[in-house]
Amino acid sequence: MVTHPDLVPTLGARRAVIAYLAVFGAVLLLMMALGLLMRLNQGALVTLPPEIFYQSMTVHGTGMVGVASIGGAAVLWYFLGRYVRLTTWVFVLNLLTFTVGAAMILFADFVGGFAAAWTFLFPLPAKAGGQWEQWAAMVHLGGLLLIGTGFLLFHLDTARAILGRYGSLTRALGWPSLFGNDPEPPPPTIVASTMVLIVNTMGLVFGASVLVISLINLVVPQFTIDALIAKNMIYFFGHVFINATIYMAVIVVYELLPEYTGRPWKPNRPFLAAWTLSTVLVMVAYPHHLLMDFGMPHWLLILGQIVSYVSGLPILVVTAFGALMIVYRSGLRWDLAAGLLFIGVFGWAAGVVPAIIDATIIVNSVMHNTLWVPGHFHTYLLLGQVAMVLGFVAWTGKTRASQLFNALAFWIFVAGGIGLTQSFLYAGRLGIPRRFAEYLPEWIGQARIGAFSAALVVIGTVMLVGPLFIRLNRAMAVR
């Protein structure tokens, strides 16, 4: 088996990756602007009509989940392409379906008024209470289905390529080394990509199924599904899909830290065991989103709580420990990309702590509908996943920005990110509800701190992705 990169990406492949990063940067900034607007509204610094707040919340939530996945896919595809032969047109098709799907969602939400949140819980899309028309719900759900189909094709192509080289998914997960004596395990990128393709294919199939059922229900109202089963399907899909964005993005850490330090990241048995364990656990942990649903079987909720404690931890521990070990006394020369990768691992680790607290049933029954939840997921997504993808953007190395500019961009982004996420967590601790457009006077102060921090995040992100756009032509030619 090959444990070092042996394929060089073609110019077309590199251009496709840069196109992904450009879409990632543009959509990320747009969604961040909507997030800032919501926080300004909660801080009573601007006044949005309530329907615009909930449309913005729907677009922001859906768009952020999608854009995190686009960034993760760019990372995965670029580095996986060093080991196996991938199909560029399938990769490009996924970007096209994403772009068209995102445009459909923007239209359905801001023109059609659809505002059922990114969770589109059945039967809400069809029961709008006069807030939106049937066509808007259909266009929104259709956009999601299109995006999901693109991602399914993307993962099927990675499956084809990995199977072509490694013969089976278990070999690609490193089982001959984990359970046997094979001295040459597959590289971390192969292991991570295999895990992601397994869990995301499962998630996408469930997501697409419930979307189709909801779409039929919009046209034929007699065609229904049990609301709790639909919720299970939606959260299985949503939980797996958003977790997979981190597992895709972390590949950049496995590939680049060894380049920076000159120390290889060779998967050992704990590493392989962690990825295999999380492949199963990430799919079993989703009931922690349904701890407040009294109709759920109790054994499933207890299973959800216990599994949540361990689901993501194995990968996080081997990655954080591995990153520290590889950097320790390596003489690494810190630059923007290395800093963002490191902060990405930190943000991921920091965000998991409040998430695990929230997955505990007695805590969840008090905290789940508070801002504690946006607090934990913004930590591991914004300071974790997004930071890692931004590290990849920086590594593409097209910026001629000065060291001072880069340092400023980095610290503005990090300081803003910490302020925003802490304002959410602090508000959650005080019991301030999530998804409220209008606040009581005593809630406004922390929302203003959040809004100020959010503005910093937006400025930092403009500084981090701006150089990519300014030098897009050049960016396409190198690396």
Footprint of ligand HEM on this chain (CB under 6 A)?
32, 35-36, 38-39, 57, 60-61, 64-65, 68, 117-118, 374, 378, 381-382, 386, 420, 434-436, 454, 457-458
Q: Which is nearer to ligand HEM, 69 or 276 (CB)?
A: 69
CA–CA dist 336, 261 (Å, integer): 15
Minimum Å gap between C-beta 145 and ligand HEM is: 19
Q: Which is nearer to ligand HEM, 83 or 120 (CB)?
A: 120
Q: Which is nearer to ligand HEM, 53 or 260 (CB)?
A: 53
Minimum Å gap between C-beta 458 and ligand HEM is: 5
Name the DSSP letter for residue 330.
Answer: S
Q: Which residue is nearest to ligand HEM (CB)?
A: 35
State whether residue 400 is helix, strand or coil: coil
CA–CA dist 274, 278 (Å, integer): 6
CA–CA dist 130, 132 (Å, integer): 6
Other Cβ atoms less than 10 A from the Cβ of 45: the count is 14
Q: Which is nearer to ligand HEM, 39 or 289 (CB)?
A: 39
Q: Which is nearer to ligand HEM, 436 or 469 (CB)?
A: 436
Q: Which is nearer to ligand HEM, 178 or 412 (CB)?
A: 412
Other Cβ atoms less than 10 A from the Cβ of 4: the count is 8
Minimum Å gap between C-beta 69 and ligand HEM is: 9
All residues at 6 or more sequence positions from 5 whose CB lies less than 8 Å from its CB, including other chains: 82, 83
Nearest to 139 by CA among 165, 164, 114: 114
Q: Which is nearer to ligand HEM, 68 or 178 (CB)?
A: 68
Return phi, psi of residue 370, to 5°.
Answer: -105, 175
SS (H, E, C) 59-117: HHHHHHHHHHHHHHHHHHHHHHCCCCCCCHHHHHHHHHHHHHHHHHHHHHHHHCCCCCC
Minimum Å gap between C-beta 286 and ligand HEM is: 15
Minimum Å gap between C-beta 98 and ligand HEM is: 15
Burial of 159 (0-12, 13-18, 19+ CB in 10 A): middle
Q: Which is nearer to ligand HEM, 301 or 427 (CB)?
A: 427
Q: Which is nearer to ligand HEM, 162 or 282 (CB)?
A: 282
Minimum Å gap between C-beta 149 and ligand HEM is: 21
SS (H, E, C) 196-229: HHHHHHHHHHHHHHHHHHHHHHHHCCCCCCCHHH
Minimum Å gap between C-beta 27 and ligand HEM is: 11
Q: Report, in angstroms and rounded to the nearest whole number, the Rg of the chain calculated over CA atoms.
A: 22
Minimum Å gap between C-beta 446 and ligand HEM is: 12
State whether residue 444 is helix, strand or coil: helix
Bond before 264 cis per omega within 30 degrees: no
Minimum Å gap between C-beta 114 and ligand HEM is: 13
What is the chain's length? Answer: 479
Q: Which is nearer to ligand HEM, 252 or 420 (CB)?
A: 420
Minimum Å gap between C-beta 192 and ligand HEM is: 19
